């Protein structure tokens, strides 16, 4: 595992970053049982209580590091309710950031809906990058013709193809592969970083150079 790798909670995984302590740690699993309090203080002691084993769809996992519990229903986290996705790149347009955050908030409930929102965010991102924003595939083709970085092209196509499977029947079952959707958030930020943030940072540094030095560079490269 690399230093900056992040592994969000995924049901039945042996280890991930705990939503309580945010440490990558082993996880232990158990089914949930309801028991009555006998001879100990409990806030339920004066209430009608029941004792039974929950359906197998209800599960609890325990973090080896902090010993806190995560409650699952099927493969969704019921407690604690947190957003496990890194924030969107701040250089993205505000409406793209809003789509990104909405997709993050519904990831655990519906990976397909989350991926569909990220596909919409990608379409808007293509427009922010100077393309028409009507057809993602055509926009990528246009960027490739302009000398697009091959790694960025692969990121764009991976996001496009996976997003298409969220809204059209395809070979990728996102309900069974929520980890694949998590990668889409990383791709959005990767594309924004390579296409927007890094160029802006380079332009900012270059603009601070002395005019005489920039003039010499222009003369060297045949620019007036």
Return d(Cα 100, Cα 126) in angstroms, integer.
15
**Tokens 């997003």 found at:** 163
Among the residues of the chain, which ranges form H helices?
A: 94-105, 111-128, 136-145, 150-167, 178-192, 198-207, 211-220
**Tokens 């969000």 found at:** 8
pLDDT reported for residue 26:
96
Q: Give yes or no for residue 100 having a pLDDT over 80.
A: yes
Per residue in 147-170, pLDDT (tens digit) is 999 999 999 999 998 888 777 766
List all residues 6 or more positions away from 26 whose beta carbon is below 8 Å from its beta carbon. Answer: 14, 15, 64
Question: Residue 198 in contact with residue 155, Cβ under 8 Å?
Answer: no
Per residue in 53-86, pLDDT (tens digit) is 888 899 999 999 999 999 999 888 888 876 668 8
Grade residue 87 by pLDDT with cuts at 50, 70 and 90: confident
Question: Residue 148 in contact with residue 157, Cβ under 8 Å?
Answer: no
Grade residue 38 by pLDDT with cuts at 50, 70 and 90: low
Q: Give yes or no for residue 32 having a pLDDT over 60.
A: yes
pLDDT reported for residue 2:
57
Q: Give yes or no for residue 28 having a pLDDT over 90.
A: yes
Q: Give yes or no for residue 183 having a pLDDT over 90.
A: no
Per residue in 101-157, pLDDT (tens digit) is 999 888 877 888 898 999 999 999 999 999 999 999 999 999 999 999 999 999 999
pLDDT reported for residue 45:
72
pLDDT reported for residue 46:
76
Return d(Cα 40, Cα 23) in angstroms, integer.
33
């Amino acid at each position: 595992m690399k230093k900056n790798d992040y592994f969000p909670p995924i049901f039945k995984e042996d280890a991930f970053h705990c939503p309580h302590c945010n440490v990558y740690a082993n996880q232990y699993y158990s089914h949930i049982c309801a028991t009555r309090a006998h001879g100990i203080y409990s806030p339920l002691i004066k209430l009608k209580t029941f004792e039974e084993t929950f359906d197998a769809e209800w599960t609890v996992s325990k973090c080896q590091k902090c010993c806190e519990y995560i409650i699952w229903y099927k493969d969704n986290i019921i407690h604690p309710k947190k957003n496990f996705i890194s924030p969107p790149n701040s250089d993205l347009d505000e409406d793209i950031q809003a789509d990104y955050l909405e997709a993050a908030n519904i990831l655990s409930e519906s990976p397909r809906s989350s991926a569909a929102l990220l596909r919409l965010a990608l379409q808007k991102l293509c427009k922010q990058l100077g393309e028409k924003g009507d057809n993602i595939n055509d926009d990528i083709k246009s960027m490739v013709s302009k000398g697009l970085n091959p790694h960025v092209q692969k990121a764009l196509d991976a996001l496009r193809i996976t997003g298409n499977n969220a809204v059209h029947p395809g070979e990728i079952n996102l309900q069974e592969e929520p980890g694949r959707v998590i990668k889409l958030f990383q791709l959005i930020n990767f594309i924004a970083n390579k296409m927007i943030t890094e160029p802006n940072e380079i332009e900012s540094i270059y603009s601070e150079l002395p005019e005489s030095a920039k003039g010499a560079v222009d003369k060297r490269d045949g620019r007036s």
